[in-house]
Amino acid sequence: MNADTLSRIRIAVFGFAGLVCLSYSAMALAGNTPRPFSPWLPGASGFAAGLVMWLSAIKAGPRAAGMAHDELFWAEWGQAIRFSYWFSISLYPIFGILMGLDWIAPSTSIAAMGTAAGAAPMLVFCFINLRS
């Protein structure tokens, strides 16, 4: 297993975990329910993503893992984190308005905001990485 394979695995697991979180958020909003499906799934998908990456890095060895996590990766991850920070901050006034208008329940807001904030860095990283 080389650095390119590790990078592809990273995109796949980030994309998968990000989509699970985004789906949870979108379905919570659409159904106005804090529990559109098992609330363990977003967290479990994130944990599984980390586990798969960790095991893959061990299998590939320290040199390949270091090559896959080079300065380009950290630059792109940094961009994703910066965007996600402001995205997550912006959710507060948006959901505040929605709750103020009684369009969604506070419990639904917490579920949707939390999973959307969790999905953002992973999906934005995938977008930046696949675009470059």
Partner 1 sequence: MAELHNTLKAHRTDKGFTQASLAEAVGVSRKSINTIENRVFTPSTLLALQIARALECSVHDIFYVKDD
Residues near partner 1 (CB under 8 A) are: 3-4, 7, 63, 66-68, 70-73, 75, 132
Closer CB to partner 1, 7 or 32, in the complex: 7
Closer CB to partner 1, 3 or 117, in the complex: 3
Measured from the CB of residue 132, what is the shortest distance to partner 1 in angstroms?
5
Q: What is the DSSP string of 19-57?
A: HHHHHHHHHHHHHT-S-SS-THHHHHHHHHHHHHHHHHH
Measured from the CB of residue 37, what is the shortest distance to partner 1 in angstroms?
35
Measured from the CB of residue 18, what is the shortest distance to partner 1 in angstroms?
20
Q: Where are the beta strands (DSSP E) in the chain?
A: none
Q: What residue has token string 């696949």?
A: 130
Report the 10 Å Cβ neighbour count for 41: 17
Measured from the CB of residue 14, what is the shortest distance to partner 1 in angstroms?
15
Measured from the CB of residue 105, what is the shortest distance to partner 1 in angstroms?
44
Closer CB to partner 1, 73 or 87, in the complex: 73
126 closest CA partner among 48, 19, 32:
19
Half-sphere exposure of residue 37: CA atoms within 13 angstroms, side-chain side: 13
115 closest CA partner among 44, 49, 50:
44
Closer CB to partner 1, 35 or 63, in the complex: 63
Closer CB to partner 1, 63 or 82, in the complex: 63
